[in-house]
């Protein structure tokens, strides 16, 4: 009876899953549990001694197979590929994250093999002593009477090797070292190991066990609940990351409470942490408890591993985190993790702990790590509870007695999301204005978006989060993803207003970036309003001779030109030229934007010769200072090509447009709006040269790409569509 009371108490303490109402009484629960443990072991000491002495408790097997392997759950399904792989191997290790279904797969395999095995034995293999005890118990069933448990275990191993036709399962094994000398000879029977740790190479062949595919997850939920709502089943599957144990919990909860899968999805979004603790089968811990046991195992072995886990919990589960980023950003990390990041061997040891506990997935070739979405959810939920519990005076979960060993043990989700923001910021591999850094930055974008979303959900807003949000928006803007950049830049501006103040210079810079995005996305009226407001306040805040003031005038001129107001545009461009000179911007590249915009107006007014002269001079300067493939250089090259076309230099224009298109595809990518603009311009030139088929093909692709990036209502998309219509007519008339 004492054991029945003790088990749930110890389990709740071990998994940090005390009921919310008792969370503040953790120290009392620990004391009571320890007292119960001492009493129970004292009473049972005599019984254990008798069992180990070879007395009346010995069991000798009779005729027929020796078998203690449990049957799989009635709800077990799928895993055909894994079962087929296991059937071809005599020794396998099933490895995967907690809750992925390794134990159930092992049971299903054993059920398939039962007819061919004379001995089937299941051992809880959490440590070496457990394996020895399990083998010794099997030995007693087989007639071995050696009193020493390790001696009995070794005799059992020898006997299995002699008899053959055995099936041995070592469930939840820790390390390969725990099993040395305790495995029967290979080929005499079948060995199945389940472990979070994949490193059992010298003993068994690895068979990874991964979460279900989405379709299988949805099918499981439909079968288990009897629901016909496939869309809701897919939604629940996505929410729990297709993890079999979590799927089983969801189905069991729906069956118990009579709610639909759609209702479960709604409850999950608002009460995820509580649902992680309910609905598990009677013989298994719930998802939260299973994962927390793995967390504690990692924490006992390596403090840096726990810190890395908490950092990764805020990253995007759909993308990998590079080891290289951690090394580059070591200065932004907590002390133990920073030390590990600067020491390759220490970082190897840190990652090994998390790999052995299956809390992260490691891509050894790419030196990248990823974490299952549900693992991250449970970690963040635990950090959130820590924030709430830390407000209770004297609460044991504030870790006051051991905080000197690792101060981060007391950090809550607010503190960790700020660490994640610093980490992402420090990991950015260069300036967002530099195209050479865009590819490297692209891998960081999903993690930055994830971290910023968590910060927003938690109400964490400071200068670091606002700056990171703005930088991510600028990166997307430079990469041509204008519509994705807009919400980030809008959010950055709102955050900057609360953090910096309405008229702070930092906030004005953020608004300038937002205005550029509005203009490029086609929201010209909104861009004009924002730039006029900026123009009104920037001179007062920054001074009339500031570079930012001049560039605001330049960009406002761009908007007026796009709206057909050429006179206002020319006035603003000239104002910008004068402002840059007054600000001391004498460097030739920095002074070019308004000069080039004046060249555009010359071209609009029909003065192509003047425009060409300006474009050529500017292009030569940009090539010297920025390089031939810089995006700004390519804009000037494109305009030079257009000016050449308008003056009748069609062959020269075609050559320049071809050069620009080739460079933009290489530097910006095929999907960048500027690339489709080059395709359009080259097609129009081909039309003038009579190359109608090539023009039609280019325009067809350009329209599709541009509409995908900016939508069919964007002004440039409409112009391209008109060009395609003309090309189609020209082509039809020719035939």
Residue 270 pLDDT > 90, yes or no? no
pLDDT band at 8 (very low <50, low <70, confident <90, very high): very low
pLDDT digit string, tens, across residues 513-551: 999 999 999 999 999 999 999 998 888 888 888 999 999
Q: Are strands 361-363 and 368-370 parallel, antiparallel or unpaired?
A: antiparallel
18 class by beta-carbon count within 10 Å (0-12 exposed, 13-18 middle, 19+ buried) = middle
Q: Looking at residues 307-311, what average pLDDT do you find?
A: 95
pLDDT at 23 over 70: no
CA distance 579 to 560: 18
Q: What is the pLDDT of residue 729?
A: 87
> How far is Cα 462 from Cα 576, in angstroms, rounded to an integer?
33
What is the pLDDT at residue 28? 44
Supply the DSSP string of 10-64, one letter for each residue: HHHHHTT---GGGGGGHHHHHHHHHHHHHHHHHHHHHHHHHHHTTSTT-----SS
Residue 735 pLDDT grade (very low, low, confident, very high; cuts 50, 70, 90): low
Q: What is the mean pLDDT of the chain?
A: 86
Residue 580 to residues 206, 535, 548, 611: CA-CA distances in angstroms?
65, 15, 9, 21
435-445: b or e for each residue (b if 16 or more CB lie within 10 Å)? bebbeebebbb
Structure confidence at residue 470 as a pLDDT band (50, 70, 90)? very high
Q: Provide the pLDDT confidence category of residue 400 given band limits of 50, 70 and 90.
A: very low
pLDDT band, residue 50 (cuts 50/70/90): very low
Q: Which of 13-22, 49-58, 495-504 has the highest mean pLDDT?
A: 495-504
CA distances 105 to 67, 70, 171, 273, 619, Å, are 17, 12, 11, 27, 66
**pLDDT of 174-222, one tens digit each?**
999 999 999 998 778 999 999 999 999 899 999 999 999 999 999 999 9
Mean pLDDT value of segment 298-326:
93
User: Sheet holding 361-363: strands in order across?
Assistant: 321-322, 368-370, 361-363
Model pTM? 0.75
Question: Exposed/middle/buried for 414, CB within 10 Å: 0-12, 13-18, 19+?
Answer: middle
Q: How confident is the model at residue 394 (pLDDT cuts 50, 70, 90)?
A: very low
Residue 55: φ, ψ to 5° = -80, -140
- Judged against a pLDDT cut of 80, whether residue 86 lies above it is answered with yes
Residues in the chain: 735
Per-residue exposure over 49-78, b if at least 16 CB sit within 10 Å of its own CB, e if not? eeeeeeeeeeeeeeeeebeebeebbeebbb
């Amino acid at each position: 009876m004492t054991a029945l009371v003790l088990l749930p108490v110890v389990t709740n303490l071990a998994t940090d899953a005390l009921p919310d109402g008792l969370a503040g009484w953790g120290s009392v629960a620990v004391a009571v549990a320890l007292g119960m443990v001492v009493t129970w072991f004292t009473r049972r000491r005599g019984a254990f001694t008798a069992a180990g002495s070879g007395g009346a408790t010995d069991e000798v097997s009779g005729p027929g197979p020796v078998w203690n392997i449990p049957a799989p759950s009635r709800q077990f399904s799928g895993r055909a590929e894994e079962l087929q792989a296991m059937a071809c191997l005599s020794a396998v290790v099933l490895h995967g994250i907690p809750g992925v279904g390794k134990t159930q797969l092992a049971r299903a395999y054993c059920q398939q093999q039962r007819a061919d095995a004379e001995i089937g034995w299941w051992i809880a293999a959490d440590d070496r002593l457990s394996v020895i005890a399990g083998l010794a118990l099997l030995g007693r069933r087989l007639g071995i009477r050696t009193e020493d448990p390790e001696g009995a275990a070794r005799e059992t191993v020898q006997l299995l090797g002699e008899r053959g036709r055995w099936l041995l399962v070592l469930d939840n094994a820790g390390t390969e070292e725990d099993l040395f000398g305790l495995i029967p000879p290979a080929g005499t029977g079948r060995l199945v190991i389940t472990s979070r740790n994949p490193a059992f190479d010298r003993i068994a062949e690895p068979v990874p066990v991964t979460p279900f595919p989405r379709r299988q997850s949805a099918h499981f939920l439909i079968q288990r609940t009897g629901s016909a709502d496939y869309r809701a089943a897919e939604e629940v599957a996505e929410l729990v990351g297709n993890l079999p144990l979590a799927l089983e919990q969801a189905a069991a909860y729906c069956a118990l409470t009579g709610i639909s899968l759609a209702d479960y999805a709604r409850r999950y979004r608002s009460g995820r942490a509580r649902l992680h603790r309910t609905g598990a089968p009677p013989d298994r811990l719930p998802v939260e408890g299973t994962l927390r046991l793995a967390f504690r195992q990692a924490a006992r072995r390596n403090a840096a591993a726990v810190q890395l886990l908490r950092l990764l919990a805020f990253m995007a589960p759909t993308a990998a985190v590079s080891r290289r980023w951690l090394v580059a950003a070591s200065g932004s990390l907590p002390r133990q993790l920073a030390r590990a990041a600067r020491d390759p061997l220490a970082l190897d040891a840190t990652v090994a702990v998390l790999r052995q506990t299956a809390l992260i997935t490691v891509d050894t070739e790419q030196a990248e790590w990823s974490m299952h979405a549900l693992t991250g959810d449970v970690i963040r939920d635990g950090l959130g509870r820590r924030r709430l519990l830390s407000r209770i005076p004297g609460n044991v979960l504030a870790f006051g007695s051991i905080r000197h060993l690792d101060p981060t043990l007391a950090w809550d989700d607010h503190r960790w999301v700020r660490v994640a923001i610093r980490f992402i910021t420090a990991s950015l591999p260069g300036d967002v204005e530099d195209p050479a850094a865009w590819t490297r930055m692209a891998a960081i974008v999903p993690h930055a978006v994830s971290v910023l979303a968590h910060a927003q959900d938690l109400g964490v807003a400071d200068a670091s989060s606002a700056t990171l949000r703005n930088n991510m928006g600028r990166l997307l803007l430079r990469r041509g993803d204008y519509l994705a950049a807009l919400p980030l830049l809008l959010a950055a501006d709102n955050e900057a207003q609360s953090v910096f103040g309405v008229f702070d210079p930092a906030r004005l810079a953020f608004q300038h970036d937002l205005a550029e995005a509005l203009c490029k996305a086609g929201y010209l009226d909104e861009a004009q309003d924002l730039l006029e407001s900026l123009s009104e306040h920037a001179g007062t805040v920054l001074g009339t001779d500031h570079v930012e003031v001049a560039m605001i005038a330049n960009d406002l001129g761009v908007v007026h030109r796009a709206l057909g107001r050429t006179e206002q545009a020319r006035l603003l461009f000239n104002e910008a030229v004068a402002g840059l000179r007054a600000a001391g911007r004498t460097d030739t590249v920095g002074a070019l934007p308004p000069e080039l915009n004046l060249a555009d107006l010359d071209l609009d007014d029909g003065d192509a010769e003047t425009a060409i002269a300006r474009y050529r001079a500017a292009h030569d300067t940009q090539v010297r200072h920025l390089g031939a493939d810089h995006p700004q250089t390519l804009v000037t090259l494109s305009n030079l090509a257009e000016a050449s076309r308008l003056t009748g230099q069609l062959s020269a224009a075609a050559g320049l447009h071809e050069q620009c298109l080739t460079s933009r595809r290489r530097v910006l990518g095929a999907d960048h709006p500027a690339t489709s603009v080059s395709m359009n311009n080259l097609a129009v030139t081909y039309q003038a040269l009579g190359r109608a088929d090539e023009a039609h093909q280019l325009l067809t692709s350009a329209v599709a790409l541009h509409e995908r990036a900016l939508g069919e209502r964007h002004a440039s998309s409409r112009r391209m569509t008109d060009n395609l219509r003309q090309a189609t007519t020209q082509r039809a008339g020719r035939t």
